[in-house]
Structure 1
Amino acid sequence: MTELVLSRPVKGRSLWIDAWRRLTANRAAVVSVVYLLLMGVACLVGPLLTGHHYTTIYTDYVRVPPSLTAYPKPDQISGMLDELIRRMRVDLVAWNDQDDRISLTIRSSRPIDPRVVRYFDRSSSFADPKVETTSPDGLTLTLSTAVAKHYFLFGTDNTGRDLLTRTLIAGRVSLAIGLLAGLTAVVIGVIYGATAGYLGGRIDDIMMRIVDVLYSLPFIFLVIMLVVFFGRNFVLMFIAVGAVQWLDMARIVRGQALSIRRQEYVQAALALGVSPLGILWRHVVPNTLGPVAVYMTLLVPQVILLESFLSYLGLGVQEPLTSWGVLIAQGAKNIPSATWLLIFPSIFLTSTLFALNFLGDGLRDALDPKDR
Structure 2
Amino acid sequence: MTDRTALSLDQEAPARPSRSLWATAFLRLKRNTLAMISLAVLIFYILAGIIGPEITNHHYAEVYPEFVKVPASLEGYPKSDEIPALAESALARARLDLGQITVDGGTIRVEASSSREIDPRVTRYLDRSDLFANSRIAETSADGQSVVMEADVERLHFYFGTDANGRDLLARTLISVRVSLMIGALATSVALLIGVLYGATAGFVGGRVDNFMMRVVDVLYSLPFIFFVILLVVFFGRNVVLMFIAVGAVEWLDMARIVRGQTLSLKNREFVQAAEALGVRSAGILRRHIIPNTLGPVIIYMTLLIPKVILLESFLSFLGLGVQEPLTSLGVLISEGAKNMRGDAYMLFFPAATLTLLLFALNFLGDGLRDALDPKDR
TM-score interval, normalised by the smaller of the two chains: 0.7 to 0.9
Return the alpha-carbon distance in structure 2 between the equivalents of residues 76 and 284 of structure 1: 68
Q: How does 1:266-345 map to 2 (within 5 A)?
A: 270=276, 275-281=281-287, 283-345=289-351
Residue 192 of structure 1 pairs with residue 218 of structure 2: no
3-state SS of 1:23 partner: helix
Q: What is the deviation of 1:359?
A: 0.9
Aligned residue-pair number: 372
Alpha-carbon contact 2:196-2:255 (below 8 Å) kept: yes
2:251 to 235, 245, 253: 245
Q: What SS does the corresponding residue of 1:93 show, helix, strand or coil? A: strand
2:59 is the counterpart of 1:56 = no
- Which residue number corresponds to residue 118 of structure 1? 124
Measure, in 2, the Cα distance between the counterparts of 1:139 and 1:215. 81
Alignment match, 1:101: 107
Partner of 2:156: 150
> Separation in 2 of the partners of 1:316 and 1:221?
15
What is the deviation of 1:150? 1.2
Secondary structure of 2:252's aligned partner: helix
Structure 2 distance, partners of 1:16, 1:276, is: 25
- 1:166 maps to what in 2? 172
CA distance in 2 between counterparts of 1:160 and 1:339 reads 16
Q: Does 1:201 pair with 2:207?
A: yes
Distance 1:291 1:16 in 2: 13
Consecutive unaligned residues of structure 2, counting only runs of 5 or more, are none
What's the RMSD between the two structures over aligned residues?
3.1
Q: Which residue number in structure 2 is paired with residue 21 of structure 1? A: 27
- Given residue 327 of structure 1, which amino acid in structure 2 is its aligned partner? L
SS of equivalent residue, structure 2 residue 109? strand
When residues 313 and 116 of structure 1 are mapped into structure 2, their CA distance, relative to the original with a 3 A threshold, is farther
**Are 1:349 and 2:320 matched, yes or no?**
no
Taking the aligned partners of 1:74 and 1:136, their CA distance within structure 2 comes to 32
Deviating more after overlay: 44-53 vs 205-214: 205-214
Cα distance per residue 1:184-232 (max 9 Å; x no partner): 2122112211221222111112222333444455544544554455443
How far apart are the structure 1 equivalents of 2:334 and 2:284? 47
Q: C-alpha separation between the residues in 2 aligned to 1:116 and 1:240?
A: 57
Equivalent in the alignment of 1:360: 366
Q: Which amino acid aligns with 2:89?
A: E
Letter in 2 for 1:320: P
Tell me whether 233-242 or 157-166 shows the greater mean CA deviation: 233-242
2: CA distance, partners of 1:98 / 1:370: 71
Do the aligned partners of 1:129 and 1:144 also contact (CA within 8 Å) in 2?
yes
Distance 1:118 1:73 in 2: 22
Q: Which moved more, 1:284-293 or 1:117-126?
A: 284-293
Comparing 238-247 and 260-269, the one that deviates more:
260-269
Shift in CA distance, 98/28, structure 1 to aligned 2, threshold 3 Å: closer
Aligned to 2:260: 254
Distance 1:197 1:119 in 2: 74
Q: Using a 3 Å threshold, how does the CA distance of structure 1 residues 275 and 16 change in structure 2: closer, same or farther?
A: farther
Q: CA deviation at 1:142?
A: 2.9
Q: Secondary structure at the match of 2:251?
A: helix
Which amino acid letter does the alignment assign opposite residue 195 of structure 2?
G
Amino acid at match of 1:204: D
Report deviation, 1:131.
3.4
Note if contact 2:300-2:370 (Cα within 8 Å) is conserved in structure 1. Answer: yes
Aligned residue runs from structure 1 range 7-46, under 5 A: 12-46=18-52
CA drift at 1:46? 1.9
Hey, what's the Cα distance between the residues in 1 that align with 2:224 and 2:145?
Answer: 71
- 1:182, distance to aligned residue in structure 2 (A): 1.1
Q: Distance in 2 between matches of 1:42 and 1:248?
A: 31
Instruction: Name the TM-score, length of structure 1 as normaliser.
Output: 0.87
Decide whether the 8 Å contact of 1:63 with 1:159 is kept in 2: yes
CA distance in 2, matches of 1:155, 1:313: 24
Residues 280 and 25 of structure 1: is their aligned pair in 2 closer, same or farther, counting only changes over 3 Å?
farther
Q: What is the CA-CA distance between 1:265 and the residue it aligns to?
A: 6.1
TM-score, normalising length from structure 2?
0.86
Question: Which shows bigger deviation, 227-236 or 328-337?
Answer: 227-236
Q: 2:35 touches 2:364 (CA, 8 Å); kept in 1?
A: yes
**Residue 348 of structure 1: CA displacement?**
1.3
